Amino acid sequence: MELLTKTLFLCLALALTNGLPVQPLDAAAEDAALPDRCAGIEFDAITPDEKGNTFFFKGSHLWKGYHGAAQLANQFFTELDDIHHIGHVDAAFRMHNAANHEHNYFFLDDKVFSYYNHTLENGYPKEIQEDFPGVPSHLDAAVECPKGECMANSVLFFKGHDVHIYDITTRTVKTKTWSHLPVCTSALRWLEHYYCFHGNNFTRFNPVSGEVSGAYPKDARHYFMRCPDFGHGGDYEVPKCSEIKINAISTDDEGKSYLFSGSMYVRLDTRKSGLHSFPITRSWKEVTQGVDAVFAYDDKMYMIKDDHVYIYKTAAHYMLIEGYPKTLNEELGIEGHVDATFVCPNTHTVYVLQGRNMRSVDLTATPRAVVEDLPMPFSDIDAALCSNEGIHLFKGSDYYLYETPMILAMSRMAPVPQPVTNALLGCQD
């Protein structure tokens, strides 16, 4: 690709020297000069920005998101140009833990550049040691690791097989050698997992131990970009809000929000990393035919399908509790098809919606049974979610909002439906 670019410039120079008319390069020639990540290239750096766009860097170009052509990096980060002689970046990451707002940091040789909202902040570039004492120059890759996934809020800096773990609070560095891990030319935290990119491949690793579990390396073109003849989750199309259809929606006690549709699910709370769908069996392997309703309570996820309830422990990985699934009647004292369920924050009651009935069940009781059978102003609800904003009842691409379960039960007619929006479900407005 570099040879092609040099050839184009050489032809231009010869034409000028000989007084020949110079024709502008046509679009096809310009496109041919761009790097093509589907050809299998090695990225210099990968980082999301504060809006959830993921940028893949190669030389003076970048890709915004998981599909589309390469663009000049200085179209998005103005100072990445000849003023600072930046032809590439060594490493980049997004800082979540900065006070007041998020930053993007870019590293080149012994310098660090800090951007907020794609604008270079005052005083930058700086020496790396000024912002990150103890971190070496000429880095290969960098990725942030929040407390809970690492021992403390940290940044992992990669150089060769050495990993320099920078504690954001104490501003100290511990160095480990992970010789079993490939030399990472870029790194990415995505959906609470950590990826080392090398060549056109990637390897998922544990951010504390560097341990690699599973069959790696894998070709990045199957997962992190959309390429002809390749495919996995990267070709997910976010549905239009006017066409969205969901079966269930719930937020667990760790703040993870899930939307279920057919045999797939989407994490809504990670939209800054991009919305992607996965088979439900990826996280809840025993639930093979989709779900009718889902709710979270007491660090557990309850998943209802037909007349059975699956209960999973909420942990790093959902684990089915021994003895499940059980029947709806055994678990909740309910018979018949369930349209939707919801549990409001800091309460111990699950509301089960069935046709035009809303049945409440005390989750602290043994055995569990229906406490109240309340009327509904309408039927055929697809999904329900209770939060501090109230109760959202979803029906097709619309929703109805109620302040409390009692107001819902006392209503004699449905309010005017409101259209589902991007802000609510991450769909396309």
Task: Give the start-to-end residue ranges of the domains of the chain.
Answer: 34-222, 241-425
- Cα Dmax for the chain: 93
382, two tokens: 């697809």
- Quick one: pLDDT at residue 82? 47
Q: In terms of Cα–Cα distance, which of 387, 384, 378, 380 is closest to 360? A: 384
Share of the chain above pLDDT 70, in %: 87
DSSP state of 114: E
**Overall average pLDDT of the 280-288 stretch:** 92
Cα 78 to Cα 247: distance, rounded to the nearest angstrom: 44
Backbone angles phi, psi at 264, to 5 degrees: -120, 160
pLDDT greater at residue 33 or residue 395: 395
Cα 319 to Cα 330: distance, rounded to the nearest angstrom: 20
Cα 339 to Cα 247: distance, rounded to the nearest angstrom: 8
Residue 386 pLDDT greater than 90, yes or no: yes
- Quick one: pLDDT at residue 86? 55
**Least confident range of 88-102, 178-192, 217-231:** 88-102
**Overall average pLDDT of the 72-86 stretch:** 70
Cα 46 to Cα 142: distance, rounded to the nearest angstrom: 9
Q: What's the start-to-end Cα distance of the chain, in Å?
A: 39
Mean pLDDT, the chain, whole residue set: 86
Residue 300 has a CB neighbour count (10 Å cut-off) of: 16
Residue 117 pLDDT greater than 60, yes or no: yes
61-64 vs 54-58, strand pairing mode: antiparallel
Residue 184 has a CB neighbour count (10 Å cut-off) of: 28
**Cα atoms in the Cβ-side hemisphere of radius 13 Å centred on 151:** 8
Q: Which helix (H) or strand (E) holds 3?
A: helix 2-17
Q: Was domain 241-425 assigned CATH 2.110.10.10?
A: yes
The verdict on whether residue 232 carries a ligand-binding annotation is yes
DSSP state of 121: P
**Cα atoms in the Cβ-side hemisphere of radius 13 Å centred on 179:** 0
- Quick one: pLDDT at residue 34? 86
Q: In terms of Cα–Cα distance, which of 55, 107, 105 is closest to 76? A: 55
**Cα atoms in the Cβ-side hemisphere of radius 13 Å centred on 424:** 25
CB 214 within 8 A of CB 193: no
- Quick one: pLDDT at residue 240? 87
Cα 353 to Cα 376: distance, rounded to the nearest angstrom: 8
Confidence of residue 28 (pLDDT cuts 50, 70, 90): very low
Residue 20 pLDDT greater than 60, yes or no: no
Cα 375 to Cα 153: distance, rounded to the nearest angstrom: 49
CB 94 within 8 A of CB 144: yes
- Quick one: pLDDT at residue 30? 46
Q: What is the DSSP string of 55-88?
A: EEEETTEEEESSSS--EEGGGTSTTSSTTTT-S-
Cα 320 to Cα 317: distance, rounded to the nearest angstrom: 10
Confidence of residue 18 (pLDDT cuts 50, 70, 90): very low
Q: What is the pTM of this model?
A: 0.64
pLDDT greater at residue 314 or residue 333: 333
- Quick one: pLDDT at residue 253? 86
Q: Was domain 34-222 assigned CATH 1.10.1740.10?
A: no
Q: In terms of Cα–Cα distance, which of 364, 362, 337, 357 is closest to 409? A: 357
Confidence of residue 232 (pLDDT cuts 50, 70, 90): low
Instruction: Give SS3 for 242.
Output: helix
Cα 411 to Cα 398: distance, rounded to the nearest angstrom: 18
Residue 176 pLDDT greater than 80, yes or no: yes
- Quick one: pLDDT at residue 77? 86
The verdict on whether residue 308 carries a ligand-binding annotation is no
- Quick one: pLDDT at residue 118? 86
CB 348 within 8 A of CB 364: yes
Residue 230 makes CB contacts below 8 A (sequence gap 6+) with: 38, 219, 221, 222
Cα 78 to Cα 119: distance, rounded to the nearest angstrom: 7
255, two tokens: 């703040």
DSSP state of 237: P
CB 176 within 8 A of CB 210: yes
**Overall average pLDDT of the 324-336 stretch:** 96
Sheet holding 370-375, edge to edge: 340-343, 349-354, 357-362, 370-375
